[in-house]
Amino acid sequence: MARLTPHATRARPWRAAILAFSAVYFLLPLTASAIFTVDVPGKGLNTDAYQQIFGTAGFLTSLRLSLELAAATIAIVLLLMVPAMVALRLRAPRLRPLVEVVCSLPLVVPPIAFVAGIGTVLRWGPDHLAATPFFQTFVAIQNPSFPAVLVLAYTVMALPFVYRALDAGLRAVDVRTLVEAARSCGAGWPQALVRVVLPNLRGALLNASFLTLALVLGEFTVAQLLGFQPFAVWIVTVSGSQAQLSVAVSVLSLLLTWTLLLMLAAVGGRRTSSRTSTKE
């Protein structure tokens, strides 16, 4: 049995203290919010706020829209970034600082300035492209039932997080050796990417999906200023007239986000364990 070093022994109380402080910091506001939703002055504890959620107009529509936007954003950003990051690591490693700077720009540009630029382009398009086939494109991407313009905006906003997650995954894998081995066995580039590289990047892909999902479900500024109503905008709209209901929806949305993240993690862990058992 391995002995703990003096340094590790001294670090354990600090770790416990940090974990306890983090738990209080995150759980205390959540607990206070949950109590506010069920404690009605003069009536005691009841769950009327939660019972009203599913019957409130716009709840299911806005939630479904946010989930659809999240799924589309995750698919697009991964289709763009995974081949680009693999090609960057194999063929052009000197361009890595440039790509890192470009992918980090959404963190520097304020959302207000970003959405102002998008709005300017959307207003400019119909005036100058009315006589061209591109006019219908501007109309289609602003369809309220599925605003593709939000998917494009969220894809840009997710680039810094997806880049970091994939970069960390690629650093932990010898991609060059894996690809060369697959190529020597007769696999083409697409087959080597899908059947050799991607299975070794499952953790990074899940992390990128987690971050993108959380970003889309919680994003408010861009959707609000462009005039669309996904889930985050709907919560703010409801909060103007029904404060207790809006807090209940916020608590429920947080639990829903955690549930979705846990489901993605469970699916990824199950596939990893099944692949490991198959190899054994």
The confidence score (pLDDT) of residue 273 equals: 52
Q: Which two tokens stand for residue 87?
A: 């090609």
Which residues, in sequence order, are bridge partners of residue 44?
40
Which of the 8 DSSP states describes residue 189? H
The confidence score (pLDDT) of residue 14 equals: 81
Q: Which of 203, 211, 217 is nearest to 265 (CA)?
A: 203
The confidence score (pLDDT) of residue 140 equals: 83
- Output 25-31 pairs: Cβ under 8 A, ≥24 positions apart: 30/251, 30/254
**Helix locations, 219-242, DSSP H:** 221-226, 231-239
Q: Which of 54, 254, 68 is nearest to 145 (CA)?
A: 68
CB-side exposure of 26: number of CA atoms within 13 Å? 6
Domains of the chain listed by start with CATH number: 61-268 (1.10.3720.10)
Which helix H or strand E contains 265, and what residues bound it?
helix 243-279
Q: Which of 270, 259, 242, 205 is nearest to 52 (CA)?
A: 242
Q: How far apart are CA 122 and CA 130, in angstroms?
A: 12
Helices 148-171 + 59-91 axis angle, to 10: 40
CA dist 247 to 65, 244, 255, Å?
20, 5, 12
> Within the chain, what is the greatest distance between any pair of CA atoms?
78
Q: Which of 241, 218, 231, 248 is nearest to 66 (CA)?
A: 231
The confidence score (pLDDT) of residue 10 equals: 58
The position carrying tokens 């590790």 is 8
In tens, the pLDDT along 188-223 reads 777 888 788 888 888 889 889 888 988 998 899 999
In tens, the pLDDT along 93-127 reads 888 889 999 999 999 988 889 999 988 888 877 77
The confidence score (pLDDT) of residue 269 equals: 59
Low-confidence ranges of the chain (pLDDT < 70): 1-11, 42-44, 240-241, 264-265, 267-280
251 Cβ contact list (under 8 Å, min separation 6): 30, 33, 34, 37
Rounded to 5 degrees, what are φ and ψ at 57?
A: -65, 130
Q: Which two tokens stand for residue 187?
A: 């696999």
Which helix H or strand E contains 39, and what residues bound it?
strand 39-40
Q: Cα–chain-centroid distance for residue 221? A: 16
Question: Is residue 244 within 8 Å of residue 36, measured between CB atoms?
Answer: yes
Q: What is the pTM of this model?
A: 0.80
The confidence score (pLDDT) of residue 146 equals: 93
